[in-house]
Structure 1
Amino acid sequence: MQDVNDTPDADPPQESDADAPSDIHGHESAQAHARREDASTGFENSMISSHVLDQSEIDSLLGNSFSSLPDREETGMERVIKAGFVAYERLPMLEIVLDRLVRLLSSTLRNFTNDNVEITMESTRSMCFGDYMNTVPSSSLFAVFKAVQWENYGLIVIDSALSYSIIDILMGGPRGVGHVGTEGRPHTAIERSLIEKLITLTLNDLSAAFTPVCTIDLSFERLEVSSRFAAIARASNAVVMTKLHIDMEDKSGNLDLIIPYATLEPVRDRLSQQFMGERFGRDSIWENHLISEILETDVEVSAVFEEKLIPLSQVLALRPGMQIAFPYRRDIPIHVTLQCGQTSLFEGRLGQLHGKAAVKIERRLVPADSPHPHSTPPLASSE
């Protein structure tokens, strides 16, 4: 026989059997939740590891972090120094040249890359050469070029985003995505040759843009990877900095054109014109007016018969009534030089006309650069 008390002893195993499935399901749900968290964490880690920040993104992140800092006030000495700079707005023709460069370079890069290229001029301003070089990222490329006729140098700065984008396009990189790769690595010889080709095309278009103002040949000198070897002016010298933003579908970059004011000095008068051809032509109305006024001007002409060099002691010993002897013979004509101030104008012979002393002009001493229509001089006479 089974004891009644044996039944409660059998119940606990049944209750434990009933609770076991709930514990198993809870353990399985916890494992599934852990697997989902691991999967999401792994996906996020894979996304973070697959996306590498390029130099432009790093610069933008670092630049935005200091945007809230207050602007430093300039000292009086800094204002005095900057006041001596020639502002870019004082060279109106330079803006026209840069606009022509944007149009020409856009067409050239479309043919060079077989891609849709859009170029915008973000800014053009005057600044110190040293201040600009301190703000350039270390991963940029520096192309030094020479203006042959002006006998001075300029600088083209290509940032890493543009250089690697051009390389990706020319080397058959993937389309529809941005630049993929490490931007800190050095460029190979093939990549440098492609960048030098881009620089040569830019210089050719810049030379063509200057054609309405003057004829200039811009030749590529060298390509540097360090700003220390790309110094073309003193740190305190003023330069014109033009920033061009180049978009090529999903790729983009910046190109900076640096031209010192010392380089533009030979053509500063032409770049200061308000419009094209302001001083290229001749104003015949004012020329004729000035010629007519000059011809009506009264001048004093002296007739010099003879000159003789004597010591200063004799000049100091001269007294009223004393005479100075000149070599003269009766049969030899007296030659006279007509002068205006210290400038000798004509040579002639002394004679008489209508009872007055006169000079017959025989030779002209001043060059006939612009001979007047009445080139035959009248007979000079004196009382």
Structure 2
Amino acid sequence: MSNDFDDFALPEPPVGMMGDGALDQAGIDALFGDVGGPARSRSGLKAVIESDVISYERLPMLEVVYDRMIRAFATSMRNLTSDAIDVSLEEITSIRFGDFVNRIALPAMIGVFRVEEWCNYGLITVEPSLIYSVVDALLGGRKSGGKPMIDGRAFTGIEVGLVGRMLELVLADLGQSMAPITPATMALERIETSPRFASIAGPTNICAVATLRVDMEGRGGCFSVLLPYATIEPVRRVLGQRFMGEKHGPENIWGAHMATEIARTEVAVEVVLGETRMGLGAVRDFAVGRTLTLGKRPDDPLEVHVGGVPLGLAQIGQRNAKVAVRLTTDIAKGPLA
């Protein structure tokens, strides 16, 4: 006997979805972009959470600092090596600290420095090609256009000391370039050769990285200066200015000018001896010698007005043969009691 309800059979649930509408393990893995197998492009919520795209505010003044620094550092390196030095800024970018550490080409030297005013740390990483070029130049090696051979051995104490002199010049010139914007005293604390011992921030912390190239007559390489955003937080507002000396809010020059002009302004001060109400007919009949009764005694306080606005109370008297008043209350900011 055939089933007359075959045409009305419920459709099969989608892959990863159980019949009651709940997700099974396969559906959960697909939602988070983890579907197993070889390395595949990330999708779903996992792609959003682990996105490499970093959107962070620009720091225009930091670019100005590095532009000033490359000119000063080129002069310092020429004095150190007696070679023709050309320093250029490759790029300034934002990256997570963990991603930056994973991209360091080994063997490398990593300088850990401290900024005293900001009470935090930064890093300088030097590529192997620049390390061997600096060591070769300082030890009197011949200039050659070939790339230095990197043998992967550990750096000697002499090599670390010579590169440390270059790092100290970098920090000194960077601090001097930062001085017109904000004081920054940068001191090299130590030099590491393993990224594991140079962790100054969490893997997900955002950092500003400036990469600079040093050319030394056919030899040279790059080094990078890393400043975590947590390090530059005390001066983030200053580094975020579009030009040096930018002020937020009213300009100080106009405030000072307004204060000076207000202090020079002359106003007429009126002392009200008293008030009384009279009809218009009585005012019309005023004559010379008419006495007006104001209801005030000589020792009663009088109101002081400026432009019809009461400012305070005063006592009438005489000083140097002239009628004078002496304030008995402070200047009122509201109606007199």
Q: Scaled by the length of structure 2, what TM-score is found?
A: 0.63
SS in 2 for 1:262: coil
Aligned match for 2:205, one of 224, 232, 237: 237
Alpha carbons of 1:290 and 1:134: their partners in 2 closer, same or farther (altered >3 Å)? farther
What is the alpha-carbon distance in structure 2 between the residues aligned to residue 135 and residue 128 of structure 1?
11
What is the alpha-carbon distance in structure 2 between the residues aligned to residue 180 and residue 85 of structure 1?
35
**C-alpha displacement of 1:137:** 1.3
Aligned match for 1:153, one of 107, 117, 121: 121
What is the alpha-carbon distance in structure 1 between the residues aligned to residue 52 and residue 155 of structure 2?
41
Aligned match for 2:160, one of 192, 199, 211: 192
**C-alpha displacement of 1:87:** 2.7
What are structure 2's unaligned runs of at least 5 residues?
1-39, 263-298, 304-311, 315-326
Which amino acid in 1 is paired with 2:56? Answer: A
Q: Is the 8 A contact 2:91 2:210 kept in 1?
A: yes
What is the alpha-carbon distance in structure 2 between the residues aligned to residue 78 and residue 377 of structure 1?
68
**C-alpha displacement of 1:283:** 2.2
Deviation digits for residues 279-324 of structure 1 (CA, Å, limit 9, x no counterpart): 299523246669999xxxxxxxxxxxxxxxxxxxxxxxxxxxxxxx
Aligned match for 1:248, one of 195, 207, 216: 216
Alpha carbons of 1:94 and 1:74: their partners in 2 closer, same or farther (altered >3 Å)? farther
**C-alpha displacement of 1:78:** 5.3
Q: Where do 4+ consecutive residues of structure 1 move more than 4 Å?
A: 71-86, 179-182, 286-293, 379-383
Aligned match for 1:377, one of 319, 330, 334: 330
SS in 2 for 1:277: coil
Indicate the residue corresponding to 2:186 in structure 1. 218
What is the alpha-carbon distance in structure 2 between the residues aligned to residue 81 and residue 223 of structure 1?
31
What is the alpha-carbon distance in structure 1 between the residues aligned to residue 212 and residue 60 of structure 2?
18
Indicate the residue corresponding to 1:266 in structure 2. 234
Indicate the residue corresponding to 1:168 in structure 2. 136
Aligned match for 1:283, one of 244, 248, 252: 252
Aligned ranges 1:60-99 → 2 under 5 Å = 72=41, 79=48, 87=56, 90-99=58-67
What are structure 1's unaligned runs of at least 5 residues?
1-70, 294-350, 362-373
What is the alpha-carbon distance in structure 2 between the residues aligned to residue 101 and residue 72 of structure 1?
40
SS in 2 for 1:263: coil
Aligned ranges 1:19-98 → 2 under 5 Å = 72=41, 79=48, 87=56, 90-98=58-66
Q: Is the 8 A contact 1:127 1:238 kept in 2?
A: yes
Larger CA Rg, structure 1 vs 2: 1
Alpha carbons of 1:80 and 1:186: their partners in 2 closer, same or farther (altered >3 Å)? closer
Q: Is the 8 A contact 1:146 1:218 kept in 2?
A: yes
Indicate the residue corresponding to 1:353 in structure 2. 301
Indicate the residue corresponding to 2:323 in structure 1. none
SS in 2 for 1:166: helix
Q: Is the 8 A contact 1:200 1:220 kept in 2?
A: yes
Question: Between the two proteins, what is the percent identity of the paired residues?
Answer: 32
Which amino acid in 1 is paired with 2:90? Answer: E
Which amino acid in 2 is paired with 1:226? Answer: S
What is the alpha-carbon distance in structure 1 between the residues aligned to residue 54 and residue 150 of structure 2?
40
Indicate the residue corresponding to 2:21 in structure 1. none
Alpha carbons of 1:210 and 1:72: their partners in 2 closer, same or farther (altered >3 Å)? farther
Which amino acid in 2 is paired with 1:87? Answer: Y
Alpha carbons of 1:181 and 1:266: their partners in 2 closer, same or farther (altered >3 Å)? same
Alpha carbons of 1:267 and 1:377: their partners in 2 closer, same or farther (altered >3 Å)? same
Q: Is the 8 A contact 1:131 1:235 kept in 2?
A: yes
What is the alpha-carbon distance in structure 2 between the residues aligned to residue 187 and residue 83 of structure 1?
33
Q: Is the 8 A contact 2:94 2:206 kept in 1?
A: yes
What is the alpha-carbon distance in structure 2 between the residues aligned to residue 285 and residue 83 of structure 1?
46
Farther off after superposition, 281-290 or 118-127 = 281-290
Which amino acid in 1 is paired with 2:252? Answer: D
Q: Is the 8 A contact 1:129 1:233 kept in 2?
A: yes
**C-alpha displacement of 1:243:** 0.9
**C-alpha displacement of 1:123:** 1.2
Indicate the residue corresponding to 2:281 in structure 1. none
What is the alpha-carbon distance in structure 2 between the residues aligned to residue 231 and residue 137 of structure 1?
16
What is the alpha-carbon distance in structure 2 between the residues aligned to residue 266 and residue 121 of structure 1?
25
Indicate the residue corresponding to 2:109 in structure 1. 141
Alpha carbons of 1:181 and 1:92: their partners in 2 closer, same or farther (altered >3 Å)? closer
Q: Is the 8 A contact 1:240 1:258 kept in 2?
A: yes
RMSD: 3.6
Q: Is the 8 A contact 1:353 1:381 kept in 2?
A: no
Q: Is the 8 A contact 1:144 1:222 kept in 2?
A: yes
Indicate the residue corresponding to 1:121 in structure 2. 89
SS in 1 for 2:230: helix
Q: Is the 8 A contact 1:168 1:179 kept in 2?
A: no
